Amino acid sequence: MNILVIFADQQHKYALGAVDSQFITPNLDTLCKEGVLFENGYSNNPVCGPYRGCLMTGSYTNHCQVINNGDPLPDHLPSMAQILRDHGYMTGFTGKWHLGGNGATPIPENIRGGFERFIGYQCYNGFEPKPPYNNAVVFFDENNQPHQFDKHRTDATTDLAISQLNEMIASGKPFFQLVGNQAPHYPEQPSETFAKLYEGKIFDKIDSNKRKKAEAEKAASLASKQDAKPAAMPAAPAKVPPMVEDGIPEEVVAVIAAAVAAMGDGKYTLRSLTRVNPSRGKWGAAGAVFGTDPF
C-alpha cells in the first residue's frame, strides 16, 4: 500500500469547508467525505520543530529530544521513513523540513531522517516571488543544490511533490511521500488568484466567551455520560462554531482563508495529489492523510 501524508503549517482546525462553510476547500472536503474527518486531536508539543520530531519518530518530546526549533532528529531512534525504507518502501520528502537548522538553507543527508528522495528547505517565511513581496522561493535538492522558482511557494511545493511521486512510481516499489507545506504560516501571502476568492468577504463571527461556554458544556456532558470528572482539556462543541472570533480583523482571516484555499484547490494543489487516494489509477492503492503542523 502506498502512503501519502500532506500537512499544512499553522492551519486552524476550523479552517476547512467540511467544518465551516465559510472556507473554500472543495478537494479537502471530498477527502473528508470519502475518508474520515478527525474532529479532535491534540499535539503533545504544538511547536513547529518539536511537533515534527514527534511525527517523524512516533515518540514523545522527552524521548526524541527535539525540544526547540532547529533541533535535529535523534540518532538513538529510528525514523518513520527509515523503518518504511527497511521494509522495501521508496521514501520521499518535499517542502519545509525545519529539523536541524533554520532559515532558507539546505538539509544535509545525515539529518534528513532517512528519506531517499528529498527536495526542500529548513524554513523560510515568505511565499510570493512577485512584487511587492519579492520572496526567493528556493528548494534544495539531494545534492544540496538550490533551485529557485518564479511561482508561489505552495504551487512549487505541490509541483515538486508530484514530480517526486512519479519518479518513485517508476521504481516499482511501494512509496511513502511526505509533503510539508509552509502555508498558511505567517506572513500570510496567498497568491492573487486565491486572495480574490475572499475580496470583500464579511465572515460570521462568534463571541469568544460563547465558544468557551459551549466547549465547557460539551465536556461536562460527555463526562457525566461516562460517569467521570470533567476532562481538563475541553472537547469540541456539539456544533463547531466558526473560526472567526470577535476582535480578529477581517483582512487577517481573509488572507489565512485564501492561503488554505490554495492548498485545497487549483491547478497546482491538493486536487492533483489527493487523486492517489482511490484504490485505482496510475499510483495504485494508496492511503492519503491531510493534517496540520502542529496537529
In a domain, 220, yes or no: no
Q: What is the pLDDT of residue 71?
A: 96
3-state SS track over 25-92: CHHHHHHHHHCCCCCCCCCCCCCHHHHHHHHHHCCCHHHHCCCCCCCCCCCCCCCHHHHHHHCCCEEE
Residue 290 grid cell: 491531510
Position 183: which residue type? A
3-state secondary structure of 204: coil
How far apart CA 18 and CA 264 sit, in angstroms, is: 12
Angle formed at CA 278 by CA 257 and CA 157, multiple of 5 degrees: 40
In a domain, 76, yes or no: yes
What lies within 8 Å, CB to CB, of 181 at 6+ separation is 6, 7, 8, 9, 95, 96, 154, 157, 263
Q: Which domain holds residue 82?
A: 2-201+261-293
Where residue 84 sits, what CATH number does that domain have?
A: 3.40.720.10
| CB distance 234 to 163 below 8 Å | no
How far apart CA 203 and CA 244 sit, in angstroms, is: 7
How far apart CA 23 and CA 242 sit, in angstroms, is: 10
* pTM of the predicted model as reported, rounded to 2 decimal places: 0.82
In a domain, 132, yes or no: yes
* Pairing, β 117-121 against β 286-293: unpaired
For residue 199, with 0-12 CB atoms within 10 Å meaning exposed, 13-18 middle and 19 or more buried, which class applies?
A: exposed
How far apart CA 121 and CA 98 sit, in angstroms, is: 8
3-state secondary structure of 149: strand
How far apart CA 16 and CA 235 sit, in angstroms, is: 18
| CB distance 3 to 285 below 8 Å | no
Each residue's pLDDT expressed in tens, for the chain with a length of 295 residues: 889 999 899 888 888 888 888 889 888 888 888 889 988 777 888 899 999 999 999 999 999 999 999 999 999 999 999 999 999 999 999 999 999 999 999 999 999 999 999 999 999 889 999 999 999 999 999 999 999 999 999 999 989 998 998 898 888 899 999 999 999 998 889 988 889 999 888 887 766 666 677 777 877 777 776 655 544 544 444 444 455 555 566 677 787 788 888 876 544 345 555 554 444 445 555 677 888 876 4
Q: What is the pLDDT of residue 279?
A: 40
In a domain, 235, yes or no: no
In a domain, 217, yes or no: no
Alpha helices (H) in the chain, listed in sequence order: 26-34, 48-57, 61-64, 80-86, 153-169, 192-195, 208-225, 250-264, 270-273
What lies within 8 Å, CB to CB, of 173 at 6+ separation is 88, 89, 90
In a domain, 141, yes or no: yes
Query: How many structural domains is the chain composed of?
Result: 1
Q: Any idea what DSSP says for residue 196? A: G
In a domain, 47, yes or no: yes
Q: What is the pLDDT of residue 282?
A: 52
In a domain, 89, yes or no: yes
